[in-house]
Amino acid sequence: MPGGASRSYRFRPARPRAQTFTAAATARSETFKVRPIDTVGAGDGFAAGHLAATLTDGTLQDRFDQAAAVGALVTTGSGDLIAMPSARELADFRAAHTR
């Protein structure tokens, strides 16, 4: 973990949002409306988005929002790795979908 800190999570998928808990905080993911083409890889995208935000020391809420955005974006293409968004594509998507 960044800074040598260990983190413990409980994760609960819930519709329409995922939710996670730590000893100090709770976060519910943002929701994103997309037109899915292929849902293969949505979970991988969620995990990749969460990991990337964790490695850049994002807050619990930042990590979950980014995870949800990547998971949503992956469904807009075919396959999992091919549809994985670049950092720029993710930033543009999140900016266009900010409430």
Domain boundaries along the sequence of the chain: 26-96
What is the per-residue pLDDT across 22-31, written as a single tens digit (0 to 9) for each? 888 888 888 8
DSSP the chain: -GGG-----EEE--SS--EEE-SS-EEE--------S--TTHHHHHHHHHHHHHHTT--HHHHHHHHHHHHHHHTTSSSSTTTPPPHHHHHHHHHHT--
Q: What pLDDT, on the 0 to 100 scale, is given for residue 24?
A: 84
Instruction: Decide: pTM greater than 0.85.
Output: no
